[in-house]
Structure 1
Amino acid sequence: MKAISYSSFGGPDVLEYTERPEPKVGPDSVLVKVRAAAVNPVDRHAREGNLDSLLDTVFPVVPGWDVSGVVVQPGFAVTEFAVGDEVMGYVREDFLSRGTFAEYVAAPVRTLARKPLRLSFEEAAGLPLAGLTAYQVLHKALKIGSSDTVLIHAAAGGVGSLAVQLAKHAGARVIGTASERNHDHLRELGAEPVTYGEGLADRVRALAPDGVEAVFDTIGGDALKASVQVLAPEGRLASIADGEVLALGGRYCWVRPDAADLAALGELAQQGVVSVHVDRTFPLEQAAQAHILSAEGHTRGKIVVTVDWDA
C-alpha cells in the first residue's frame, strides 16, 4: 500500500511517500480503507522525537492519529462494525509505528465511532483528536456548566473552534483569544474575541470584571500566566500545552481514545451542533507540505490529507 513514513526523527524532509505492507488486522481491530487523515501539532512533535520519552518508536513510522474511511475487514472478535461501515477515529496506540497517513490502517475498535452522515470524509477526519480534546477537557476536567464564563485560548484553531462550539452548546458564555483576522469567525461561532499579547489579562477583565469560572489553555507560556490573573475565586484551569499548569493549581490534560466520547461527538456533529472547518487539503503524497503548513501555526480549523481512490 502507499503510505507516508519516516525512518528517523527530524524535520518534514524525513517524510517519504513509499510502499508499506498492508497492516495485519488483530481480533479487536478493523481494517479501514483511509479516505482522509488530519494533521495535528502532535504529529510534528512525534516526528521530531519529542515524544520519545513517552512512547516507544518502531521505525519506519507512519504518522497520523486522526482518520476517516470505510471498514473493509473486521477482526474476528469485532461485533461493533461490518464491511462497508463509514467510520472515524483517533487511532492512537501506546507506541509510534502504525499511523493513518496510508491507504489502509488497522484501527482498534476502542478508537472508532461511526462517521456522521452530515460530515464529509475530510471534515470527519478533523473531528476525533481535536474534538475529543475539547470534549474531555470541557466536560471531564473543567466540568463547565450553563452559569460559567469560559476563556478559551487559540479559539479559532482546530481544538479551540470545537471547544467554543461545545461550550456554547453547554450554555456557557465564551471568551476566545485569537488574532485580529479571526475575530469575525469567532463571533460567528458565538464567542467574544480578544487579541493575544501584552495586556491580555486587562482585555479579558474588561469583558468579565468578576473573572472567568474556567480557562481552557491550548498555548501555554504567557497565555497560561495571564489565565491565572483572570480566574474568578474557585475558578478552574486546564492546559493541554504546558505542564506548569500543575504548579498553578490546574490540570494538565492529555486526550485519550474513547469510543463513547467520540460517538457522542459524532451525534452532536450529526445534529449540526458542532462543525469542522477544513482550512486546506493535500493529497497523501504531499503530506510533508501539510506538516510544514501545520507547523506555521496560523491555520483556522484543520489541515487534512486525502487518499484518492479514483486515481
Structure 2
Amino acid sequence: MPKQVIVQSSIEAVEIIDTPIPTPRDKEVVIKVVVSGTNPKDWKYPLWKDLPHNSGDDIAGIVHAVGKDVYEFKPGDRVAALHAFGTENGSFAEYAVAPDWTTFHLPHNVSFEEAATIPLSGLTAAIALYVDMKLPAPYNPRKPAESGGEKVPILIYGVTSAVGAFAAKYARLSGLGPIIGVAGRAGDFAKTLVDYVVDYRNGEDALVAAVEEVLAKEGLGSKVPNVFDAISENGSFEATLRFIDPNGGTVSTVLPPKLFARDKENFKYPPGVKAFNSAVPQVHSTHKDFGYLWSRYLGRLLEDGRLKAHPYEVIPGGLNGVLIGLKNLKDGNASAVKYVYRIEDTEDVPMLRAASAQGTGGQPSGSQSRQNSHPLGDFPFPF
C-alpha cells in the first residue's frame, strides 16, 4: 500500500504509515509524487494545535487521477503543484492531492527536483509583490532606469531564502531597481540576484547605514519605498522600521509582527506605511483566480528560461529523509538551498525518531510539545 509521512508535533519524530491512494474531489488532482520539496513552515506548522499531520506542500510528479470538473490535466501529465495548507494528503507521500488551480504543467526542460522548489515559494513571492504591494508584474514591466525609466527601488530582507530569491527574480523581470538584498552567509548567491547586497550579521546599525549608503549612491534619499521581508523574525521587523519610507512606504512580511516582533504588543509601522502580511494560503481561499493565473504563468516563465528554480539539495532516503530535512531547517542549517526528497528512494521504515525524542510512538508529551511551541501555531491561516 502507498505510504505517507505524519510529522509529529514535537518535530522529534515522523511516522511513515500505509494510506490508500486518495480519491480526487471535483476540482482536485491526485499526483503520484516523484519529488517533494520542504519549507520552514513544514516543521513549524505541525505545532499548530499539537496536531500531527503530513505538512508537505510542494509537489512535483505525474498526474494519477483528476476530479470530474478538471479539464486541463489528465493522467500521465508532468506537473508541479501547491497542496492546500492543513488539508489531508500533503506532499510527504507517494500520492498527494492539490487543487487544479494551483497545479501547472512542467516544461520538459525542468526536472522534478527543480520543480519541487517552486510552488510555495514562487506563489508566496508573487502574492507579496503583485497582490499586496501592487508592483508591476513581469508581463507589464516598468521601463528600466538604465533605459530612461524612473527608479523603483525595492529591498528584500532574506533574499537568499527561496521566497526572497523568487521575489528578487520577479523584481528583475518587472523592471524594478535598484534591488537591495539583505543576506548573510550566502552572500555570493545573493550577488547573482540583486544590485546590492548588505549583510545583516554586522548588526542592525551597520545594516541600516549600509542601506542608507546605497540609497545615497543612487540619489534616492535615505528611505526605501518598497520592502519585502521574507524572514519576519529575529529583528527583521525592527530593522525594516528604520529604513522604510514613513510617508508612503509599502512593506510586505511573510509572518505577522503581532506574533513575531520582539515587542509584539507595541510594534507598529508609521501611519504613512502600507503594511501587509502576505499569506500564500490565500491562493486557496480569497485569491483563487490569482493562484490559477500565476501558476500557469510560472510554467511559461520556466519554459522560456526567464525564471530558474531555487538551488536544491536531495536528502537521501526518500520519505525516510523528511525528518532529517525538517531538523536541518529547524536548526538553521539551510542556506540558499531547498531540501527535496525523491520519493522512490523510500525504504520500509515505519517510524523515524530523533535522538532526543521522548515518550512512545513519536507522540510528544504535553511538556515536550510546549517546549517546542512556535508562534506560527497562532498564525491565522485563511482556510
Matched residue, 1:3: 4
The match for 1:302 is 338
Residue 23 of structure 1 is matched in structure 2 by 22
Counterparts of residues 138-157 of structure 1 (less than 5 Å): 138-145=129-136, 146=142, 147-157=151-161
Describe the SS at the equivalent of 1:47: helix
One-letter identity of the residue aligned with 1:273: R
Q: Distance in 2 between matches of 1:45 and 1:144?
A: 30
Q: Deviations over 1:175-217 (max 9, x none)?
A: 00111x3222111223311001322111111101312220001
Q: What's the counterpart of residue 252 of structure 1?
A: 277
Looking at structure 2, the residues matched to 225 and 143 of structure 1 have their Cα atoms a distance apart, in angstroms, of 23
Does 2:229 correspond to 1:217? Answer: yes
Matched to 2:165, the amino acid is S
Distance in structure 2 (CA, Å) of the matches to 1:44 and 1:309: 22
Match of 1:280 in 2: 313
Q: What is the match of residue 40 of structure 1?
A: 39
Q: Determine the structure 2 residue equivalent to 1:130.
A: 121
Amino acid in structure 2 at the alignment position of 1:240: V
1:73 and 2:65 equivalent? yes
Structure 1: any 5+ residue segments left out of the alignment?
none
| Aligned with 2:251 (options 220, 228, 237) | 237
1:64 Cα deviation from its structure 2 partner: 0.5
Amino acid at match of 1:259: Y
| 1:310 shift after superposition | 10
Higher alpha-carbon Rg: 2
Deviation of 1:24 (Å): 1.8
Give the paired residue count.
300
Task: Structure 2: state its 5+ residue gaps.
Answer: 137-141, 143-150, 262-266, 284-290, 348-383
Q: Distance in 2 between matches of 1:234 and 1:76?
A: 47
For residue 198 of structure 1, what is the amino acid of its counterpart?
E
Q: Summarize the Cα distance change of 1:106–1:242 in structure 2 as closer, same or farther, 3 Å threshold.
A: closer
Provide, for residues 211-237 of structure 1, a one-character-per-residue CA deviation record: whole Å limited to 9, x for no partner: 222000122252222212212341111
Residue 99 of structure 2 corresponds to residue 111 of structure 1: no
Pairing 1:290–2:360 present: no
| Identity, % of aligned positions | 27
**Aligned partners of 1:2 and 1:192: how far apart in 2?**
45
Measured after TM superposition, the shift of residue 10 of structure 1 is 1.3
Pairing 1:205–2:212 present: yes
Cα gap change, 1:70 to 1:309, in 2 (>3 Å) = farther
Structure 1 equivalent of residue 357 of structure 2? none
Of 168, 182, 185, 2:186 maps to: 182
1:165 equivalent among 148, 169, 180: 169
SS in 2 for 1:175: strand
Query: Aligned to 2:107, what secondary structure does the other structure show?
Result: coil
Q: Give the alignment partner of residue 304 of structure 2, picking from 256, 262, 271.
A: 271
- Quick check: which one's strand share is greater? 1
Paired residues of 1:12 and 1:291 also in contact (CA < 8 A): no
Q: State the alpha-carbon separation in 1 of the partners of residues 105 and 32 from structure 2.
A: 14
For residues 337 and 98 of structure 2, what CA distance do their matches in structure 1 show? 25
CA distance in 2, matches of 1:89, 1:78: 14
1:64 aligns with 2:56: yes
Q: Which amino acid aligns with 2:325?
A: A
**Superposition TM-score, scaled by structure 1 size:** 0.89
> Which deviates the most, 38-47 or 222-231?
222-231
Q: Are residues 23 and 170 of structure 1, via their aligned partners in 2, closer, same or farther at CA, if it must alter by over 3 Å?
A: same
Runs of 4+ in 1 over 6 A off after TM superposition: none
Shift of residue 127, structure 1, vs aligned partner: 0.4
Q: Which deviates more, 272-281 or 156-165?
A: 272-281
Alignment partners' CA distance in 1, 2:195 and 2:15: 40
Q: What's the CA shift string for 1:232-258, capped at 9, x where partnerless?
A: 341111111233489314111101331
- Is 2:132–2:252's contact at 8 Å kept on the other side of the alignment? yes
SS in 2 for 1:308: helix
| Equivalence for 2:240 | 227
Contact 2:26 2:70 survives alignment (8 Å): yes
What letter matches 1:223 in structure 2? S
In the TM superposition, residue 132 of structure 1 has moved relative to its aligned partner by: 0.5
Task: Work out the CA distance in 1 between the residues paired with 2:131 and 2:68.
Answer: 33
2:145 maps to none
